[in-house]
Amino acid sequence: QEGTHEHEGAHVQNDAHVHEGAHGQEGAHVHAHDHVQEGAHVHEHAHVQEAAQGHESTQEQKVAHGQEAAHGQEEASVVAKVIQDIDLSFWQQAHSGKQKLLVLLYQPDSCDKCKVTLDSVAQLVGQPEIPSDLEIVKSSNADLVSHLGVNQFPSLVYLRENSHVTYDGSFGVEDLLEWVQLATQQVTHALNDESFEHLTQASTGATTGDWLVVFYKDTCKNVLLALDTLGVRLHGRINVAKVNIPDSPSQVERFKISECPEIIFFRQGRMYRYTLPVLDVASLRSFVDGFYKNVQAQPVPIPKSNFDFLTENIADYIKIQLEGENRNAILAGLVGVVTSFLFLVICCFRSTGGDTRKEKKE
């Protein structure tokens, strides 16, 4: 019996140990599971925090960029407000003093685009590409607008020395900077009787490129603004030039200039007369870009020599005299000159013939 009791006690103890071991294992599993869950929650929480921080950082960057842009716009607006307003008198003084002006012509009350353009122009102030002696101004003065012939707003006009050009592009800051640098240079050549053929070589090979030449005088010089503006835009591709009609009689006669203004496009040894009814930048550009092919090409006349001019002047003088009061006297003089010339020819012929006969007799 005692043995039986001991055996049963051992079984009970073993069962207790097994039961405790099972409980221990279950506790360990539960504890491990709790740790895994806690770790997962911690990891997930960390990701959430990182994502939140990243989102906040992105939002902060966007806000910072927005603030910078707003600050830049505010600065441009402030500069735009302090840009000087000028009138016709100010322009005329600058023109007389050969001062550089970049003038934005605008209408503050009836032009929605003008404010945005004014802010863009204001951003040019202080840029290193802008010439140091160029003053940037604005104007809504009716007298100045009329004087410059402006009929659309906004318009940007660049005065340099004694001439000005009009901007013909978009009002982006980069485009404006590029154009100002080009427009600062004088690109329109002034030609006359002495320099025309030397520079253009129109009839001797055209090695200096294509030339768009305007023949003008004071009564039709408004076309020069369009020519200057086109010259800036096509700089390096086509040469533009002007010829003052009263100062260049030889070229006027050479090219049979009869209109004011008259425009001729010289290209590869041929010349094309501009026949379009409109004289603006767009029409001139269309002509040199290809519309000239619709016009009859003409050979370029060869420049006359000094002897040609002398004989023509003598012929013109005789013609004028024959049409005047001294017509009979001039005719008598001409008859005398011709008679004397014939007499000399006959005498020379007889003298030569006599000498020949003497040589034969000897």
CA-wise closest residue to 123 among 71, 184, 182, 190: 71
Q: Compute the average pLDDT of residues 325-343.
A: 74
CA–CA separation, 330 and 328 (whole Å): 5
CA-wise closest residue to 250 among 205, 305, 299, 209: 305
Give the dihedral sign, CA 192/194/197/198.
negative
Q: Tell me what pLDDT residue 300 has.
A: 96
CA-wise closest residue to 266 among 305, 238, 230: 238
CA–CA separation, 155 and 166 (whole Å): 7
**pTM tops 0.75, yes or no:** no
Q: Which of 184-198, 224-238, 305-319 has the lowest mean pLDDT?
A: 305-319
Give strand ranges (E) for 185-230: 188-191, 211-216
Residue 292 has pLDDT above 90, yes or no: yes
Confidence of residue 114 (pLDDT cuts 50, 70, 90): very high
Residue 299 preceded by cis peptide, ω within 30: no
Q: CB–CB of 123/169 below 8 Å?
A: no
Q: Tell me what pLDDT residue 195 has.
A: 96
Q: Which CATH superfamily is domain 191-299 in?
A: Glutaredoxin (3.40.30.10)
Question: What percent of the chain lies above the pLDDT cut of 90?
Answer: 56
Q: Tell me what pLDDT residue 78 has.
A: 54
Amino acid, single-letter form, for residue 3: G
Q: Tell me what pLDDT residue 336 has.
A: 76
Q: CB–CB of 188/224 below 8 Å?
A: yes
Residue-averaged pLDDT of the chain: 80
Higher pLDDT, 150 or 67: 150
pLDDT tens for 2-11 read: 444 444 444 4
Question: What percent of the chain lies above the pLDDT cut of 70?
Answer: 69
Q: Which of 26-35, 93-102, 318-327 has the lowest mean pLDDT?
A: 26-35
DSSP-assigned beta bridge partners for residue 240:
188, 212
The two structure tokens encoding residue 314:
């003598």
Higher pLDDT, 153 or 78: 153
Q: Tell me what pLDDT residue 276 has.
A: 94
Q: Tell me what pLDDT residue 357 has.
A: 53
Q: Tell me what pLDDT residue 33 has.
A: 44
Confidence of residue 345 (pLDDT cuts 50, 70, 90): confident
CATH no. of 88-183: 3.40.30.10
Q: Tell me what pLDDT residue 205 has.
A: 75
